Structure 1
Amino acid sequence: MGDRRGLKMVQAILRPIMLRRTKCSTDRSGRPILVLPPANVGIVYCELTEAEKDFYDALFKRSKVKFDQFVEQGRVLHNYASILELLLRLRQCCDHPFLVMSRADTNEYSDLNKLAKRFLKGSKGAVPRDTGVAPSKAYIMEVVKDLRKGEEGECPICLEAFEDAVLTPCAHRMCRECILTSWRGIACGLCPVCRTTVNKQDLITAPTNSRFQVDVDKNWVESSKVSALLQELEKLRASGSKSIVFSQWTAFLDLLQIPLSRNNILFVRLDGTLNQQQREKVISRFTEENDILVLLMSLKAGGVGINLTAACNAFLMDPWWNPAVEEQAVMRVHRIGQTKAVSIKRFIVKGTVEERMEAVQARKQQMISGALTDQEVRTARIEELKMLFT
């Protein structure tokens, strides 16, 4: 495993029989086989307001204490899911502090309420394979109870900490949007873990009183990243240029709908909870109606064949662990059929875990290349986590 010679041997075997064409492919004369308009990629660096920074720093210090404990115990990889949960909250905080408060029953962050109130008041205007034996009701209720208490875990599909977790009748947990996206049918599909047939209505939702702990509409405050996005969209409004806003969290899409509505920016939304008919309707509206300038889209929405060349602007609101996921999202815009120059902008908050994730993405490319052994991969993974908590 991890032997570079083995990788080269596999490549040599596949090269004569596998047809692969990329945007960089050329013909025998050296000319590109596909000519597309240019795609300009840029980064929008955002500065946290003082109130946001206080909130983030408090959350980071608490998370670092827990991570350091795992390091001292030599159990970093044994607690990988718990660490992903810590990082998830830090990354969500970079988008908007409201996301950290998105689970009304999470008591772990209750001591941050004072800083949360300061943000609300002080930042206004700131920028098993089926065995035939169903799990017992008592077992399912126990798992749901653990979810409600905020038990950490990792979605088996996206390999991220759970967001809007659901429990299948076969007692497997995953993000709601992830499992719905993985199905080809509208009302049912297979459990990605054990391949048991699951109906949509049988999914059990982890109970919460509200998606947010605060009335986000009544207490709305723009985060620095939201403000930066609105500035970009205002520049494009007069030209009628269409844009796609990508985020990996549907809760953040919920939040973005508030300022877009208040600023009279018409939008539609596409995420994994929509069935095929609903998706087609959304894409049709975005493509054909001149007034619809923004498409809010989840990175988990899937659908490699989705053609969104009606837009020529793509905004990636939060970095993903795997840069290939971001690439796939952008390629829905910069592809055959696109006639205009494409602008791609990634939003990164300075001095936060988002900046350090960029360095981690570069290291992941080395691992993907197969240049590391199993032990080196384990060591690199630990070093990456340490980088994120420095």
Structure 2
Amino acid sequence: MLQTNNGTDIAILNMQTSKALQELDHRSTVRYNVYVATAEWATKIRSFTTLGQSVCLDIDIYFFGSRSNSTDVGRILSDTGLFLQPPDFLDSTIPYDNPHEISFASISNSDSKMSVPIPEFSSMSDPSVDIINTVLGNLDHMGNLVNLDVDMTAITTVLKPHQREALDFIADRESPHMSERFSLFKQCVDSRNRKYTHSYEHSVAGCRKPQKPPEDFGGIIADEMGLGKTLTMISAIATTLDRARRFSDEDFCRGKEVGAIKRTRATLVICPATRHVAPRLLKCTKYHGTSKATKTEILDSDIVLTTYATLIADSSRNSILHDIHWFRIIIDEAHSIRHQQTKQFRAVVALSAKYRWCLTGTPIQNVLNDLGALVRFLRVPQLDGLSDFYRHVAGPVEKRNAAGFQRLRELLQCICLRRTKDLLKLAEPDSRIELVQLTEEERNEYCRIGEGHRQAIDRAIERRNLTDASSGLFRAISRLRAFCNSGLCVKPEEADTTKDESLSLLEQDDQAVCSYCSCDVSSIGDQESASSGVILPCSHLLCQECVCRTEEIHKTRIRCVVCGSICSSLRDEQQQLPISDGASSKLRSYSSKLEALLHNVMHHRAEKCIVFSSWKKSIKLAASYLTAHNIPVCVVDGSMTLPERRSQILRFQQDPTIPALLMTLGTGAVGLNLTVANRVHILEPQWNPSVEKQAIGRVIRLGQEKKVIIVRYIVEHTVEQVCV
């Protein structure tokens, strides 16, 4: 056991390592320092705090001691099956002597230029992130791409120059005669820079081939949100119809594509994308919902639209989609498959295709292995094995190895295209913080809530129940954050947002996945969405499909499929606060934050605005507040059906008398174009800034002609200022 100075057990150490350390301690032959990557430490601690589950940390142990004890130290370690490895970090002032390292007098070992990390380093960020962002920021291939001149008869929307350049990138990455600029296999050269005739080396994996292998597998379009990635890919489909038809006329697939039965000219698009296509020029078929297309209809299509949820469900039975060799597969929001252990990832990767494309503005969301999932889907040669990407790229980058960053750069330069919104020459948004002051009555209530939770936490600590203390702290933060929005308008027991807040915390830690099947969960209580889920009282997060697996007991209680706990029925959780013209009668009192929102909306009533919040209850309450003051609004949240959402958004876009659209961040972060608005209100600070950024990106995008104003509301001297 690992203990603190007062004897509290805090961790279980690996037994093999413990035995060696105890032996070395008894002999007093060495001292040692232990290092943990700050990013991993922060991630695992958040996971432990949020879920209360044990976590495993990888640690690096550095031994220091007298050279005269080197042989004994080496023997003690090797007797327990441990062997010292070359250090990733080496202080140049300390001589390096490894008793387990074989050395030859005629060969000198090069020392690492990196210093031992300072133990007191307090930043929780990963230093490699800046370098990765730098790599991503240099993938526009400026000067290497041309405005491809193609027949655009089938496309109703005029392409921008950067979209035509993207078509050039796509054409090159799908060409059997790929140019050297995008090839991973480089022709080998000798010491005099002369090229070998029959030798090509993989620039990432390092392996050599006598002939240059084909690399026309597709790639990644990682343009920032708002640059028209979807339109670009539809244009690529439209301009390659002849090639697609020739592909479908060829013989059955051979070689690696064993599972494919029949080729099709169709491109399978895992996202909705038809608004830019001229009528009748591209035959589009939908494969989702209750009435799915037949295999014959699919084989006679140019575009087949489906969803991640349909793909997962289809893969569990006789799958039509997996029984076809597609000309091309395009996955939108491709970061959705970043978790390689999920059904979602397995269902997508199992599809058979000639070309594969990933569309995502965030190819690396949290860790470098996010990109590894996309590389496996693309089937990049020599990097598509289960551990290949980690061995050649992610592992060396984690260890701050310069070769790892060089390999990452080489890989992305070949397969990825990324441009920023600077291309659009949009005016920079005016972003400001609105500091809100609580009234005396609100401050007293805020302090009363905080004091009540503090006493509960103190009682848990007195009982030495750290789990209750940790969850109590979480509930306190959640309740105080909710009060900052609702003020005195809602009774304390009605303002609980714990489940929405729990999901937000899980998303920040990249742990928002189903506890049973590991698929991504992006919202709570949205019965219309397969990516929505439910957090049970036992704290397990389940997706909608796995909620249906739960055993119902007398129609009032259910049994969790993960732990077997019996919970109350979920029906009560699905009840929502109604919105009506008489909503003013539901407002009991006053909220300083909603009053500030009201003032801003009324002052700029001629401009359309969008109000975002993480919580459905806050959106409903804000809608009631604005409606009570004669401001008509539209509302979109996860509890509404898809037709209801479309109706509300269309009404907001077309009716000039409606100045405000209120929506939860989950529904506003994906799949919407809201450029009709130019003012954005963020009701509360977010645990996960990327979700907020995605939502704002629906306003700041191609087609936005006005200057965008972003207002973030922060209540002074509260927990909200800690969250910023």
Instruction: Check whether TM > 0.5.
Output: yes
State the match for 2:662 in structure 1: 296
CA offsets, 1:141-196, max 9 Å, x none?
xxxxxxxxx9x8788744479xxxxxx9x9xxx998454364279xxxxx955953
For 1:255, the aligned partner's letter is: L
**1:61-119 deviations in Å (ceiling 9; x for gaps):** 2223344566677765775444322211000111123576364699xxxxxxxxxxxxx
- Describe the superposition over 1:255-295 as per-residue Cα deviations: whole angstroms up to 9, x where unpaired: 22233223221110011112222221111111111111100
1:16 aligned counterpart, secondary structure: helix
What is the correspondence of 1:32-181 to structure 2 with a 5 Å cutoff?
A: 32-68=422-458, 80-98=470-488, 101=491, 103=493, 157-159=503-505, 177-180=524-527
Give the aligned partner of residue 19 of structure 1: 416
The residue that corresponds to 2:651 in the other structure is: 285
- Is 2:697 the counterpart of 1:315? no
Partners in 1 of 2:591 and 2:495 — Cα distance? 23
2:526 and 2:640 in contact (8 A); partners too: no
- In structure 2, relative to structure 1, the CA distance for the partners of 1:279 and 1:104 (3 Å cut) is closer
Identity, % of aligned pairs?
A: 27
Write the distance in 2 (CA, Å) between the matches of 1:308 and 1:209: 28
Q: Deviations over 1:302-351 (max 9, x none)?
A: 55220111000000011111111211111111111111000000000000
CA distance in 2, matches of 1:246, 1:91: 15
Cα separation, 2, equivalents of 1:328 and 1:59:
33
Q: How does 1:323-342 map to 2 (within 5 A)?
A: 323-342=689-708
Change (3 A) 1:56 1:340: same
Q: Which amino acid aligns with 2:718?
A: T
User: Structure 2 vs 1, CA of residues 209 and 38 (structure 1 numbering), >3 Å: closer, same or farther?
Assistant: closer
Q: 1:321 to 1:67 in 2, by over 3 A?
A: farther
**In structure 2, C-alpha distance between the alignment counterparts of 1:207 and 1:278, rounded to whole Å:** 20
Secondary structure (helix, strand or coil) at the match of 2:423 reads coil
Q: TM-score w.r.t. structure 2 length? A: 0.35
Q: Could you say what secondary structure the match of 1:93 adopts?
A: helix
> Conserved in 1, the CA contact under 8 Å of 2:685 and 2:712?
yes
Judged with a 3 Å threshold, the aligned counterparts in structure 2 of structure 1 residues 77 and 19 are, in CA distance, closer, same or farther, namely: farther
Matched, 1:269 2:635: yes
* Aligned counterpart, 1:363: none
Indicate conservation of the 8 Å contact 1:270/1:279, yes or no.
yes
Give the match for residue 591 of structure 2: 223
TM-score computed with the length of structure 1 as normaliser: 0.62
1:37 is paired with a residue of what secondary structure?
coil
1:198 aligned to 2:548?
A: yes
Structure 1's 184 and 248: CA in aligned 2 closer, same or farther, altered over 3 A?
closer
Aligned residue in 2 for 1:6: 397
Query: Quick check: 1:157–1:178 contact (8 Å CA) kept in 2?
Result: no
CA-atom RMSD in angstroms:
4.0
CA distance in structure 1 between the aligned counterparts of 2:466 and 2:419, rounded to whole angstroms:
38
Partner amino acid for 1:180?
Q
Map of 2:603 onto structure 1: 235
Assess, with a 3 A threshold, how the Cα gap between structure 1 residues 22 and 316 changes in structure 2: closer, same or farther.
farther
Please identify the structure whose Cα radius of gyration is greater: 2
Counterpart in the other structure of 1:377: none
Aligned AA (2:623): Q
SS at match of 1:341: coil
CA distance in structure 1 between the aligned counterparts of 2:416 and 2:621, rounded to whole angstroms: 43
Amino acid paired to 2:397:
G
Unaligned 5+ runs, structure 2: 1-36, 41-125, 129-395, 508-513, 533-540, 550-554, 556-568
Aligned length: 287
User: Could you tell me which of 183, 198, 205 is aligned with 2:530?
Assistant: 183
How far does the alpha carbon of each residue in 1:230-279 deviate from its partner, in whole angstroms, 9 at most, with x for none? 11011112xx2101111122112222223322322111001111222222
Classify 1:310/1:154 alpha carbon distance in 2 versus 1 (closer, same or farther; 3 Å).
closer
Q: Which residue of 2 aligns with 1:257?
A: 623
Distance 1:59 1:302 in 2: 31
> Is the 2:669–2:695 contact (alpha carbons within 8 Å) kept by the matching residues of 1?
no
**CA distance in structure 2 between the aligned counterparts of 1:352 and 1:299, rounded to whole angstroms:** 22
What corresponds to 2:245 in structure 1? Answer: none
Is the alpha carbon distance of 1:246 and 1:181 closer, same or farther for their aligned partners in structure 2, counting shifts above 3 Å? farther
**2-side partners of 1:37 and 1:13: how far apart?**
33
Which range moves more in the overlay, 251-260 or 3-12? 3-12
Report if the CA contact (8 A) 1:158-1:178 is conserved. Answer: no
Output the CA distance in 2 between the equivalents of 1:218 and 1:194: 31
Secondary structure, in 3 states, of the residue corresponding to 1:196? helix
Query: Which amino acid in the other structure matches residue 296 of structure 1?
Result: L
Separation in structure 2 between the aligned mates of residue 181 and residue 17 of structure 1, nearest angstrom: 39
Unmatched 5+ stretches in structure 1: 25-31, 107-149, 162-167, 186-190, 359-390
Query: What is the rounded CA distance, in whole Å, between the counterparts of 2:443 and 2:426 in structure 1?
Result: 41
Q: Matched residues in 2 for 1:20 and 1:72: separation?
A: 56
By relative contact order (CA 8 Å, sep 6+), the higher-ranking structure is: 1
Deviation larger for 45-54 or 278-287: 278-287
CA contact (8 A) 1:92 1:100 kept: no
